[in-house]
Amino acid sequence: MHFRKLIFRRIIEVLAIFFLILSGLFLLFHLSPGDPVSRMVQPGMSAEDASMLISQLGLDQPLWLQYLYYVKNFFTGNFGISFHYGQPVIHIIGRRLPNTILLFTTSVVLSAAAGVLWGKIVAWYKGRAIDTWVTILALVCHTLFLPWIALLFIWIFAYHVGWFPLNGMITPELWIDPTTGFLAKAADIGHHMLLPLLTLFIIHVGSYLLIMRSSMLETLKEDYILTARAKGLSEKRVRNRHAAPNAYLPVVTSIGLSLAFSINGGALTETVFSWPGIGRELIFAVSNNDYPLALACFLFISLVVLVANVIVDVLYAYLDPRIRY
C-alpha cells in the first residue's frame, strides 16, 4: 500500500516539474535573440515576402497566445512543424529518439553493470596493487574529454586498424541492396554501434566504479558484515550477498543522474560519430533557431530524464525498504 502511494506521489511531482520545464523552455526560447526567419531570407527577398513567411509560421501572434497554443498543442500531441525540415516535429523525433535510446540505454546498462562488478572487487582488495591501479585508471577514464577520445578511437580502430566503420549508423551500400536481409541489417547497425558504445563505456564506467568502490568500503565497516563473517560464511558469500546489495543504492541514484548527463554528452558523441540521434538534431535546431524542433527535443530529453528518475526512485524504494515507510 505504501509502495503504491509512493509511486503515485512521485508521478504527481514529476508532472508538476514537467509543466514547469514546459513553461520555462517556452519563455527561454522567446526571450533569446535572433529570429528563425532571418536564416531563411536571402538577399533579394523583399521585406514583405519575409513578413509573409513570418505570419505563415505563426510568429506574428502575441506571446501569451503563442504560449496557450503551445500548451494546447503539446497535450494534443501536436508539436508543430519544423521550420527547416518542413515536416511535423513528431515525425523527426519519432525517427531520431529510438536511435538515441538504443545507444545510450545500452551504454548506461553496460557501464553500470561493469562498474558495479569491478567496483565491488577492487573495494574487496583495498590497499593492494590492483586497487591502486584500477582506481587510477577509473579516474583517468572519468576525466577523459569525450570528443577527443572519440576521434582518437575513430582514427585508430576505424581508420588504421579497420575493425569498425568510420561513422554513421548503417552502411548505405548494404542498405540500398534489395537482397539484404533483416539479420544482415541488424548486424550492420550493431557493427556501427560498437565504437560509440566503447567510447561511452570508457567515459562512464570509471564513475560507476568509483561510486561502487567507496560505497562498498562504507558497507564493509558495518557490524552485520562482521556478524556474517563470525557466522563462518565464505568470503564470496559475505561480499556478494551481505555487502554488495547494500552498496548498490548510491549507484542507482547516480544512474538516474548520469542519464541526464549522458544526453548532453550524447550530442557530442552523436555529432562525432554521425549517429542520427536526437542530440545531433538538437544542435542543428538550436543553431538554426528552429523553435518547434528544438523545443520538442528539449522536452523529450527532459521527459526521458524524468521518467528515468521515477524508475530509479521506484527501484530505490524496492531495494531499500526504509524509503517506503
Partner 1 sequence: MRFFPKLFVSSLIVVAAAMVLLCSAASAHAAASTLRVGIAEEPRTLNVWMATDANSNKILSLIYPPLYTEHPETLELTPWLAKAMPVWDKETNTYTMELRQAKWSDGSPLTAEDVVFTVNTIKSFKVPKYHSEWQFVEKAEAVDKQTVRFYLEEPRATFLTRSLINYVMPKKQWAPIVNQAKKQEKPLGALLNARVEKPLGCGPFVLERWQEGNFIYLTKNPHFFGRGQTIQGHQLGPHVDAVLFKVYGTADVAILSLKKGDIDFLWWSIQPGYLEDLEQNKNIRVMINEKSALYYMGFNVRKKPFSDPALRQAAAMVIDRDFIVKRVLQGYGARMDSIVPSENRFWCAPDMPEYGRGLNRAQRIKKARKILAEAGYSWQRPPVDENGRVVSPSTIVRPDGNQMEKFTILTPPADYDPNRATCGIIIQEWLKELGIPASARPMSFGALLETVKTRHDFDAFILGYGRLALDPDYLRSFFHSDNAKPGGWNMSGYHNPEFDKLAEASIAEMDTEKRRKLLYQMQEIIMEDVPYIPLYNPAAIEAVDTRTFKGWVPMVEGIGNIWSFCSVKPE
- Positive or negative torsion for Cα 268, 270, 271, 277: negative
Contact 269, 169 (CB under 8 A): no
Q: Which of 49, 60, 222, 235 binds partner 1 (CB under 8 A)?
A: 49
Q: Is 81 helix (H, G, I), strand (E, B) or coil?
A: strand
Residue 81 near residue 87, CB atoms below 8 Å: yes
Binding status of residue 105 toward partner 1 by CB under 8 A? no
Report in angstroms how near the CB of residue 213 gets to partner 1 at its nearest: 13
Q: Least CB distance from residue 47 to partner 1, whole Å?
A: 4
Among 229, 271, 314, 315, binds partner 1 (CB under 8 A): 271
Closest CB 309 distance from partner 1, rounded Å: 28
Q: What distance in Å separates the CA atoms of residue 103 and residue 82, rounded to the nearest whole number? A: 25
If one counts every other C-beta atom within 10 angstroms of the C-beta of residue 69, the result is: 14
DSSP 1-36: -HHHHHHHHHHHHHHHHHHHHHHHHHHHHHHSS--H
Q: How many Å apart are CA 198 and CA 181, to the nearest integer?
A: 26
The yes or no reply on residue 126 touching partner 1 (CB under 8 A) is no
The DSSP code sequence of 292-317 is HHHHHHHHHHHHHHHHHHHHHHHHHH
59 binds partner 1 (CB under 8 A): no
Q: For partner 1, which residue of 18, 29, 67, 284 counts as binding (CB under 8 A)?
A: 284
- x/- mask, partner 1, residues 225-264, rule CB under 8 A, reads ----------------------------------------
Q: Which of 69, 85, 261, 316 binds partner 1 (CB under 8 A)?
A: 85
Shortest CB 30 distance to partner 1, Å:
13
Residue of 21, 40, 149, 319 interacting with partner 1 (CB under 8 A): 40
Q: Which three cell numbers stand for residue 45?
A: 527577398
Phi, psi angle pair for 86, to nearest 5°: 65, 25
Q: What residues make contact with partner 1 under the rule CB under 8 A? A: 33-36, 38-47, 49-53, 56-57, 81, 84-87, 95-96, 99, 114, 117, 121, 125, 130, 151, 154-155, 158-159, 163, 165-177, 180, 184, 187-188, 190-191, 194, 270-274, 276, 280, 284, 287, 289
